[in-house]
Amino acid sequence: MAYVNVMDQGARGDGKTDDSNAILSAWKRVCGMEGPATLLIPSGKVFLVTRLQLSGPCKFTSVFIKFAGKIIPPTKDAWVGDTEGWMRISYVNGLTIDGEGGIIDGLGSSWWPCKKSCQRPVALSFHACNNLVVNSLTMANSPGAHISIDDCNGATFSQMNITAPGNSPNTDGFDIATSKYITIQDSIIGTGDDCIAINSGSSYINATRVFCGPGHGISIGSLGKDGSYATVEEVYVRNCSFIGTTNGARIKTWPEKAVMVSEVTYRGFVGTSATDDAIDLKCSTLGCFGITFDNVQIVSSQPTKPAFASCNNAHGTATNTVPKVTFEMKSETSRAKKT
């Protein structure tokens, strides 16, 4: 396999010089090779990246990124151009990223005070990347969401470590939209917003052995804003732990909208909820169907307080679940006290 070291393409790795063009140059060489090739971001270096767009398709059926160094952005005051995204990988199939030893630090503290008037950039976005594999990547302190996945078919994220303070706004671990067959497994996610947010057009989403906290838990939605039609189906949350999250399981839809959520399974996860509603299912008038809870144990993070399950227009089954989940055929909210 051929290796292309970003240092050989002019990167300085001193944390002060903009290395965006050097990394892009190395990527173009890797993407243009006829056989397997690896982009190498070496250890012991800090790479300042102002904006990075790695695009395909590549000539060979699979490409690799070995990421062992540290990547940082400019601060908010030094940011130039739009804020839609910081690093974006698009139209690259068969990409494998090995992040062992590397870290992406978004230096988000300069952005977080600007909650509403600023469009805070996503740290790392994957668009239309099929058969993607990302292993052992550490990310911290993104200005906005840490990882965005859209229009992807087939992606596996393993041994991820994503952290940001619990009061950092909208720093989701993963935002998934219009994608299918996405797996997040054996990972630790603790941020100021959703650990995993599953948005419209997503199906066959698997979260397995994920430790979540702080944050808002694993959320479906919010769906149907501004009257848009939205669907999410085939979501499986298995053997996950939640510590001090706002909720454990949450479905968020705008009422009276054309939103359909179906075939969602929560199985074998435990944890503590920082709010009364450990399970919070708010489904539109179309309802959520095929919801399954099996061996779920979520209690309040405050030992003397009870936890509840709040269900609106949700239909399914619950077995060995605390708090007790009561599915109603009517649209009124059912509030079942913990037993």
Sign of CA dihedral 1, 138, 133, 95: negative
Burial profile 4-23: b = 16 or more Cβ within 10 angstroms, e = fewer:
bebbebebbbeeeeebbebb
The 10s digit of each residue's pLDDT in 294-326 is 999 999 998 888 999 999 999 999 999 999 999
Are 136 and 100 in contact, with CB atoms under 8 Å apart? yes
Q: Which of 10, 57, 5, 9 is nearest to 31 (CA)?
A: 57
Find all residues with CB under 8 Å of 201, minimum gap 6, and list them: 177, 178, 179, 230, 231, 232
What's the pLDDT at 1?
87
The 10s digit of each residue's pLDDT in 86-144 is 999 999 999 999 999 999 999 999 999 987 778 889 999 999 999 999 999 999 999 99
At residue 333, does pLDDT exceed 50? Answer: no
The 10s digit of each residue's pLDDT in 36-82 is 999 999 999 999 999 999 999 999 999 999 999 999 999 888 876 66
Are 92 and 57 in contact, with CB atoms under 8 Å apart? yes
DSSP string, 238-265: ES-EEEEES-SEEEEE-TTS-EEEEEEE
Question: At residue 116, what are phi and psi to the nearest 5 degrees?
Answer: -115, -30
Residue with tokens 């989940």: 325
146 is catalytic: no
What's the pLDDT at 65?
98
**Cis, peptide link before residue 73, omega less than 30° from 0:** no
> Distance of alpha carbon 185 from its chain centroid, rounded?
12
Give the type of residue at 218.
I
Pairing assessment for the beta strands 308-312 and 334-337 based on DSSP bridges: antiparallel
Are 271 and 249 in contact, with CB atoms under 8 Å apart? no
Distance (Å) of CA 244 to CA 44, 98, 335: 35, 30, 21
SS (H, E, C) 140-188: ECCCCCCEEEECCEEEEEECCEEECCCCCCCCCCEEEECCEEEEEEEEE
Find all residues with CB under 8 Å of 22, minimum gap 6, and list them: 6, 7, 9, 10, 11, 12
The model carries a pTM of 0.94
Domains in the chain (CATH in brackets) are 1-162 (2.160.20.10), 223-339 (no CATH)
Band the pLDDT of 83: cuts 50, 70, 90: low
Q: From CA 25, how far away is CA 7, in angstroms rounded?
A: 11
Cross-sheet strand order for the sheet of 174-177: 52-55, 85-90, 122-127, 147-150, 174-177, 196-198, 218-223, 249-253, 277-282, 308-312, 334-337
The 10s digit of each residue's pLDDT in 191-247 is 999 999 999 999 999 999 999 999 998 999 989 887 789 999 999 999 999 998 988
Phi-psi region for residue 65, left (φ > 0), alpha (ψ -120 to 50) or beta?
beta
Catalytic residue among 127, 146, 216, 315: 216
Tokens of 239: 């053997």
Q: From CA 236, how far away is CA 183, in angstroms rounded?
A: 9
